[in-house]
Amino acid sequence: MIFSELEGIIGVLMLASTLVVQIRSYIRPMTNTVVTQSILLASIAIIIGIRESSIDLIILAILIIVLRGFLVRYVLNRRLPKARMFVREYSHGVASVTLASVIVLIASFLVFRYAFYPSVHDPLGAIGLSILFQGLLLISTRRNSFAHFIGYVEEENGIIFLSLSIIPLPLLIEISVLLDVLALVIAGTVLVTDNVEHTRVEELMG
């Protein structure tokens, strides 16, 4: 009982962190928030690991902390321009993004309720699905490369949360997913140039 309550509390904290990321403009605090979210995800894996006596989930938690808690943050922070302490994305649509975020949240709960819940009978997965969709929303509403990365990491956190609440995947698959995110972030940072804002380009239209 206490385990499931803990899972619920941490799940809600993770969801809150995604909403905080949506309305942030400064990139460094966004990175820190998503790292906190990853550590919360690791603690859920530890709780389920203890409850199920699964060493695989404990290993997964450690890997999440090492790969997402430290390495991804390290890679992203290294690429943030050093000259400017506070890298900011200028956004004029905070109100509309907040509204879109709430709509996506409600929509993802409804999708889970009617598509997943009749088969899996565990409401916690709705949080994972919501985080996944919030990550997608972040990618689609921002122009900044770092915000895109953070949205992608959020998406992956959401899917791991969903998997943990429905059925934990075999460790080999989970490790592959984690390594894949790290590799993609490293490959992606090579593509991040001084100009981190993405705009419309004539040659790439039509």
Q: Which of residues 77, 80, 139, 141 is near another protein by CB under 8 A? A: 139
CB 33 within 8 A of CB 21: yes
**Should residue 120 be labelled a site residue for another protein when binding is judged by CB under 8 A?**
yes
User: Residue 151 CB, nearest distance to another protein (Å)?
Assistant: 7
Q: Near another protein by CB under 8 A, which window of 22-30, 47-55, 94-102, 143-151? A: 143-151
190 binds another protein (CB under 8 A): yes
CB 181 within 8 A of CB 41: no
The stretch among 28-36, 61-69, 73-81, 177-185 that binds another protein (CB under 8 A) is: 177-185
Residue 107 lies near another protein (rule: CB under 8 A): no
Rule CB under 8 A: is residue 206 a binding residue for another protein?
yes
- Cross-strand partners of 192: none
Site for another protein in 1-40 (CB under 8 A): none
How remote is the C-alpha of 36 from its chain's centroid? 10
Q: Is 180 in the site for another protein (CB under 8 A)?
A: yes
Which chain residues interact with another protein by CB under 8 A? 115-116, 118-120, 129, 132, 135-136, 139, 145, 148, 151-152, 155-156, 159, 162-163, 166-167, 169-170, 172-173, 176-177, 180, 183-184, 187-188, 190-191, 193, 195, 198, 201, 203-204, 206
